[in-house]
Amino acid sequence: MRSPLRGTNCRIEARSNAASGREHEGVFPALPFFAVYKGLGSAQIRAQIGHGPERPIAEGTARDPRCSARSNRCHGAGLARLRLCHRTERSFPSLMPMKVAYSRRSFLKRAVLAAGALSAPRWMPGPNLLLAQDAGRKLNCAVIGCGGRGMSHLNAIAKENIVAVVDPDEKRHEAVADWLKRRGMDPARVRFFTDYRRLFDEVGRSLDAVFVATPNHQHALPAMLAMQLGKAVFVEKPVCHNIGEARALREMARRSKVATQMGNQGHNEEGYRRLCEYIWAGVIGPVRETHSWTNRCNGGEGPRPPAKPVPPGLHWDEWIGPAPYRDFHDDLHPHSWHGWYDFGNGSIGNMGCHVLDGVFWALKIEHPTSVEVEYLRGGSDERYPIGSRIRWDVPARGDLPPLKVYWYEGLNPTTQDRPQGALRAAVGEARNLPPLLLELRRQYPEEELDRGDSGTLYVGEKGIIFTGTYGERMHVVPWAKMREIPEPPKTLPRPRDIFTDFLEAVREGRTDTASSFEYGTRLTEFCALGNLAQKAGVGNKVEWDGPNMRVTNLPELNAWVKRENRPGWRI
């Protein structure tokens, strides 16, 4: 049979991530690729080999038998994915800096081998074929930010191949090295960086997944850099610092088609899933208001503390990153950054993606029309408050009625107490709790509804549901009533814990994680609107045009909707 490629000039561009992390182009004898050329006259073939983004499989592309039958996307990041198009002479932008053009004879030799292999009655992969990643293969991972949450990430991925860690504080490098030794790993085999831009430049293409556990102002940029390289990314909550970043991350996640996850672990657990099933089954009737609270006081009072010398080993410019430059002082690093508008998102940014997760999910919130702070204590032009009450006004959604979402944080208006402990929390009667919770506490003291850091009450026409910080202890109030209600069926999937869910998705080439950026950025936006209300102050309702991402009545707030990053740190 005449070769369909006979008489054509062909250029092959291939991209490969070798085990060493080096980049290559071309077709290599040890890395054959297979394709069926269905009568193409002239052809240009681009083969992307390695751990790049998911792409639709074109007709005539070799499909790994382990790819999912439920979609037309390749679920094996190691499979050579081929795009075929007519017109040899058309110019395509190369994905890599180097191009290798092969002679017609060299190309045809490989094409004949490929056709012969695929003409066999069954494809029996040999040891050199680039197939989907083996289910048991360790993933190449990097962790950015090695404080408390970052160490939790390291523990969660301890069985993977930890390629690199990043933290601007060299003391944390020492802590990670000690952790590696205790785990029986050799720190010399791990790259340590103080700047994540260098990480992506030097080893980025060798990675499978990136974990981000930095202060909030440093969430979006490394996540964007990872997705631009086609790498899966897990980011702590909130997934970014402002609404503009949320929109950019969501768009990049759609385009890159990599696995993403926001670290609000309750989303994977039973409580919030059962909450959705109870509310969607109409157990408490239409819900018109919710009341959520947290004891955190992630804010402050007074002017910025005086500047101090940067501690030895702390790379301060890298810590500041994309944010406006500020001199080092004691109320920023390592934890108090939460309380500053330039770096954190206050108490609601710290806890909202946990506590409001059930509200946002179960009640199918899209864009609120307005948000207003009703009580404010402390704070300044630079600092978040240490106590506040916020109300979002959410319009009707389909058959769901209009909704008022209330948030109570930190200290109440009358207490003389101060925030306590490393977490800066209100304690006991100093807490800013919903009046409805106080009433239910008096009626049902045995239920201990105010136990724990945070919680939510969902007020329906036929009853009230309570959930804890992460959805735990979900029940109709009181428990006695809960026992009388027939349980609605379980209709939602039950994924594994949030880290395992993500790692499985990376291995299988999927993007359907439980709290992907498609969801996590929207929940983050909702919380960030609360920050805008705090910035506006009491008596200044913020009118919000969600689809167009702008405040319509207080235009000065739009500078906080989307912020310009420092030069050298721009998305």
Are 415 and 528 contained in the same domain? yes
The number of helix segments (H) and strand segments (E) in the chain equals 15, 19
Domain range holding 382? 266-300+346-496+524-554
Which sign does the torsion angle of CA 166, 315, 236, 524 carry? negative
Q: Say which CATH number the domain at 176 has.
A: 3.40.50.720
Decide if 312 is inside a domain. Answer: no
466 in the same domain as 418 = yes
Residues of the chain with pLDDT under 70: 1-135
How far apart CA 251 and CA 186 sit, in angstroms, is 38
Phi, psi of 54 (to 5 degrees): -60, 140
Helices (H), 410-471: 435-443
* Domain assignment of residue 327, yes or no: no
Rounded to whole angstroms, the Cα distance separating 144 from 315 reads 14
Task: Give pLDDT, residue 122.
Answer: 31
Same domain, 170 and 261: yes
Q: State whether residue 181 is helix, strand or coil.
A: helix
Whether 113 and 236 map to the same domain: the answer is no
- 113 and 211 assigned to the same domain: no
Q: Which residue is listed with tokens 């702008």?
A: 550
- Record the pTM: 0.78
Three-state secondary structure call for residue 534? helix
Cβ density class 204-215: b for 16+ within 10 Å, e for less = bbbbbbbbbbbb
User: Residue 112: what residue type?
Assistant: V
| Residues 371, 230 share a domain | no
Do 253 and 122 lie in a common domain? Answer: no
Nearest-angstrom CA–CA distance, 542 and 78: 48
> Would you say residue 234 lies in a domain?
yes
Tokens 């940014």 correspond to: 349
Answer for the pair 101, 88: CB distance below 8 angstroms, yes or no. Answer: no
Same domain, 44 and 80: yes
Distance CA 63, CA 18 (A): 21
Report the domain count for the chain: 3
pLDDT digits (tens, 9 = 90+) for 163-204: 999 999 999 999 999 999 999 999 999 999 999 999 999 999
335 domain-assigned: no
Cα 141–Cα 143–Cα 147 angle in degrees, nearest 5: 155
For residues 332 and 343, what is the distance between their CA atoms, to the nearest angstrom? 9
387 φ, ψ (degrees, to nearest 5): -165, 135
Task: Please report, in angstroms and rounded to a whole number, the separation of the first and last CA atoms in the chain.
Answer: 52
The string of pLDDT tens digits covering residues 47-82 is 333 333 333 333 333 333 333 333 333 333 333 333
**Within this chain, do residues 358 and 457 fall inside the same structural domain, yes or no?**
yes
Same-domain pairing of 366 and 432: yes
Between CA 290 and CA 178 the distance in angstroms is 45
